[in-house]
A = this chain, B = another copy of it.
Amino acid sequence: MSTYSRRQFIRDAAVTGAAISAINTPLKVLAAEKKQVVRLGMIGVGLRGQSHLDQMLKRTDVEIVAMADPDKGMIAMAQKLVAQYNKKAPLEFTNGPHDYQNLLKIDGMDAVLIASPWEWHIEQAFAAVNAGKMAGVEVCGAIKLQDCWDIVQAVEKTKVPVMMMENVCYRRDVMAVLNMVQQGLFGELLHLQGGYEHDLREVLFNDGTPQGGPGVEFGDKGFSEAKWRTNHYVNRNGELYPTHGLGPVATMIDLNRGNRLTTLSSVSTKSLGLHRFIVNNPKGGPNHPNAKVKFKEGDIVTTQMQTTNGETIVLTHDTSSPRPYNLGFRVQGTNGLWIDNHAGGFSEGLIYFEDKSLKKHEWENTKAYMEQYDHPLWKRFEKDAEGAGHGGMDFFVDNAFIECIKRDAAFPLDVYDLATWYSITPLSEKSIAEGGTLQHIPDFTNGKWQTRKPVFGRSSEY
């Protein structure tokens, strides 16, 4: 069905090595475009999906052929966006949550971009690759560990690849730090931290109107993410959103490419924040029905992990309390460290290098380093990224997805990254349910991590 079923996705180490070298050679030699236009379907066109749609509509090399979403209001918003770009209206698949399966039958469609509620990601990606459509899959954690195995095995069997759409891997300061890591400024890496420390209370609750005004409604009565995301907080206790914190540091220590996560253990605080938000809200109060809801998700979940190469990683999930936004990055090696307690601005972090910092034992502001080591990709596409979501980083993740498809090139964040990062969620839930026990993280590559070569951030092409 797809022209991509012939694709040799699972390469051996030697071939992968060659491909990497290729990326650094002039564009036309080896990485030529095999396809001028990517025919794309959107699965999930809520607010996040519309943000991707907006990126894709700006491009001349993408044709949006279809959209699936059971929420007709969202579909209407998405069509309006398409019309603003004077592009052809995509086909609509709105007949319930399973209508995406009909979208997947469209002949000649190359790929889908999945930005649905979390619980649908793996099912839809699985169906996509089995239908011969590549899939770009938005971030979250898996519902069940088996889901991670299912998607890996589906990709291995069909040879149709998926891309893990982790935008924070492309955050400008994160890529500058990655550049510093790759140039050896930190020495040998030792310890990394990341997380999702973001007060989501006004995302998890609203008044249920299409304006998403202030309120304490969620589930059927909520709007947008409050419709489905909040239910995860009712029913689960774990590291629900691991990839924004883990993805960026994973690329720095070459996880699944010469290195591997081995164990995790997670602990959770009590759960107070969401209940308090409802009770103290002018639209809520102690007598509001939602004041009776028991939220299982602890307000702060901490996860510590180990790798085969001897690094440790700490992840923090902190979304139910008042706090400034921060992904809490720390990257530390034998020669120095970087920490970020803000939102990624070039001059907002602290950094120290033994052989570069002017004063011994004193932090420096990050600005000069960030500018000096600004990643070639950002330098090249700075103008294109302007106005794209989340400070421009969304441009890069969408661009990589499309450019890889055009070139028949391996995605820089692939199904093994997706499975590994997604697996943190169910494993952390199990650890917490067992009081904080140690959990072994599966090797989804089945040993291939030992010979797979790093690719992310190694090119200025896309």
| A436 in the interface (beta carbon within 8 A) | yes
**Given A272-B188, A322-B335, A335-B322, A267:B312 Cβ within 8 A:** yes
A43 at the interface (CB under 8 A from B): no
Q: Which residues of B lie under 8 Å from residue A339 when comparing CB positions?
A: 341
A354 located at the interface, meaning its Cβ lies under 8 Å from any Cβ of chain B in the complex: yes
State in angstroms the CA–CA spacing of A366 and B322 once bound together.
Answer: 17
Contact residue range for chain A? 35 or more
Q: How far is the CA of A190 from the CA of B301 in the complex (A)?
A: 10
Q: Are B302 and A312 in contact (CB under 8 A)?
A: yes
Q: A353 — nearest CB in chain B belongs to which residue?
A: B322
**A304, B267: Cβ atoms closer than 8 Å:** yes
Asked if A354 and B322 make an inter-chain contact with CB atoms under 8 angstroms apart, the answer reads yes
Verify if A39 is at the interface (C-beta below 8 Å from B). Answer: no
Within 8 A of B (CB), among A174-206: 188, 190-191, 199
Inter-chain contacts of A318 with B (CB < 8 A): 191, 332
A4 at the interface (CB under 8 A from B): no
Could you tell me if A363 and B332 are in contact, using CB atoms closer than 8 angstroms?
A: no
Is A300 at the interface (CB under 8 A from chain B)? yes
Q: CA–CA, A405 to B322, complex, Å?
A: 43
B residues in contact with A361, CB < 8 Å? 199, 323-325
Whether the Cβ atoms of A435 and B436 lie closer than 8 Å is: no
**C-alpha spacing A24/B54, complex, angstroms:** 64
B-facing residues in A423-442 (Cβ within 8 Å): 435-438
Is B436 a contact partner of A334 (Cβ separation < 8 A)?
no
* Chain A 319-352 residues near chain B, CB threshold 8 A: 321-325, 332-337, 339, 341-342, 350, 352
CB distance from A391 to the nearest CB of B (A): 15
Contact A311 B438 (CB under 8 A): no
Q: From residue A444, how far is it (CB to closest CB) to chain B in Å? A: 20
**Contact between B268 and A312 (Cβ–Cβ < 8 Å)?**
yes
B residues less than 8 Å from A332 (CB atoms): 300, 318, 321, 323
Query: Which residues in window 380-435 of A have CB below 8 A to B?
Result: 435
Chain A residues within 8 Å of B, Cβ to Cβ: 188, 190-191, 199, 263, 265, 267-270, 272-273, 276, 298-300, 302, 304-306, 309-312, 314, 318, 321-325, 332-337, 339, 341-342, 350, 352-354, 361-363, 435-438
